[in-house]
Amino acid sequence: MKIQIGNRVLLLLYLLFSAIGLLAQKQNNGDGELSAKLRQLIDTYQYDQACLVADRLLTHDSLSVEVLILKGRALAANFQVQQAVAVFNKAYLLDSANATTLFELVNGYRQMGDSKQAIAYCRKIVGLQPESVFFTIQLSNLYYGIDEFGRAKDILLPLYQRDSLNPYVLKQLANSYNELQQADSAIAFYVRYLYMVPYDAGITGKLTNLFIRKRNYPAGIYLTEMFLAHDSVNTGILKLNAYCYYLIKDYQTAAQKFSKCVTLGDKSRFTLKYFGLSHYKQEMYDLAEPQFRLAYQADTTDTEVSFYYGVSAYRSALADTGVKYLEKTLKMLMPDSQFLNTLYMELAGAYTANGQTDTALAILKKAYGDYPDNYTLAFKIAYQYDYYLRKPFQALPYYNEFLKKCPESEKEGVDAPQRVSYYGYTVNRVRQIKGK
């Protein structure tokens, strides 16, 4: 009898555990289906539904790091970054060595603009996986993003020593040196990078700008010409190529290159300004004027553009326009003394070309009052009295002031065969006036 009772108990226990097992299996199958559905919802951008499914799964297993990560990703993708970070922090507390969780925290804090926390968690990952190039680069990028270029460089250098052929490491090292104003090192790494990735337009542009800064214009021309042989319609590189020609004073070639930029659709102020200057330097004022006009329309605060536009206008028979824009230039922020002197003289020239010779004289006298050491202004006043107003005796004192203040270096050009210097002209003209 006792044996029969024992058998019944065993049978009941067996049935009970079997039932529990079946329920657990059913629950696991259900959770597995929900997990698959959760991933599918995230993949199809249904983030609100994904969060609901994640919450259902977490009611069954609140310690699931995997589900917490998936929910955090759904929240982050749905622009709920703070809530996502809170979820990732729960996952981190459950498993502080999980690199996936740590990297999600890095990205979350980066999106929130909290670089300090992003760096702290990224350093934890690097500590856990020091051999990982990917995470080390991410740490460097975080420092680079907050302008700590020295720390970014120090993190990348050991990577470069381990693998000198990693193009991304080369590029970021070059960028870091560039930001640190260490031009020679930046150039060296940019060159190595371009040897591996020869047609990177962004890096070609940065290296060309470094060559320009170092006044190595031929190297800039060579580099940009090599790129343009591969891609002749890249206006970013083309205008740098044109600018290098401008800097070596090959204004004709520069004008042709800038013209091509405009034809390709580059209407930037830089291109229009230096297109105009390339003509201006060749004294082709009628060709320069339209480019300066367009450049001025692009930026009405550029003092140089306003000045060159005014000068080009009056020298190409648009005297009213010349006066207008030279006057505008005067009203802008005060330029340096040398430029202001030139501005006054050109404005006087514009008024003279417009038939307003008395106004031109008044401008020259005002300038000379402000800058009495400028001997060129003394000559301009004398010439204005003498040639335009036909008052040679009123010109004489200013001619004499010019002779008194003119430096010895200016006197050496008196006997130049192709042109008479201001000094040579003044000596002869004073003799003529006194001889009357």
Question: What pTM, to 2 d.p., does this model score?
Answer: 0.75
Read off the pLDDT of residues 281-305 as tens digits, 9 standing for 90 and up: 999 999 999 999 999 999 998 989 9
Read off the pLDDT of residues 113-148 as tens digits, 9 standing for 90 and up: 999 999 999 999 999 999 999 999 999 999 999 999
Which H or E run contains 158? helix 149-162
Chain centroid to CA 29: how far? 56
Q: Are 156 and 169 in contact (CB under 8 A)?
A: yes
Taking residues 206-218, what's their average pLDDT?
Answer: 97
pLDDT for res 305: 94
pLDDT for res 16: 54
- The token pair at 377 is 């202004």
Instruction: Quote the CA–CA distance of 305 and 332 in Å, as a whole number.
Output: 12
User: In angstroms, what is the C-alpha Rg of the chain?
Assistant: 38
Q: How many secondary structure helices (H) and strands (E) does the chain include?
A: 24, 0
Lowest mean pLDDT among 301-315, 368-382, 412-426: 412-426
Whether the pLDDT of residue 10 is over 80: the answer is: no
pLDDT for res 373: 86
Taking residues 199-228, what's their average pLDDT?
Answer: 96
pLDDT for res 343: 85
* Domain residue spans of the chain: 374-436
Q: Are 48 and 40 in contact (CB under 8 A)?
A: no
Taking residues 149-154, what's their average pLDDT?
Answer: 96
Tell me phi and psi for residue 107, to 5 degrees: -65, -40
Q: Are 343 and 367 in contact (CB under 8 A)?
A: no
Q: Are 177 and 186 in contact (CB under 8 A)?
A: yes
Lowest mean pLDDT among 197-206, 332-341, 369-378: 332-341
**Average pLDDT taken over every residue of the chain:** 87
Residue 284 gets which letter from DSSP? -
pLDDT for res 258: 97
Q: Are 192 and 170 in contact (CB under 8 A)?
A: yes
pLDDT for res 108: 94
Instruction: Quote the CA–CA distance of 407 and 164 in Å, as a whole number.
Output: 58
- The token pair at 192 is 């190595």
pLDDT for res 421: 82
Read off the pLDDT of residues 337-396 as tens digits, 9 standing for 90 and up: 677 878 888 888 888 888 888 888 888 888 888 888 888 889 999 888 888 888 888 888
pLDDT classification of 24: cutoffs 50, 70, 90: very low
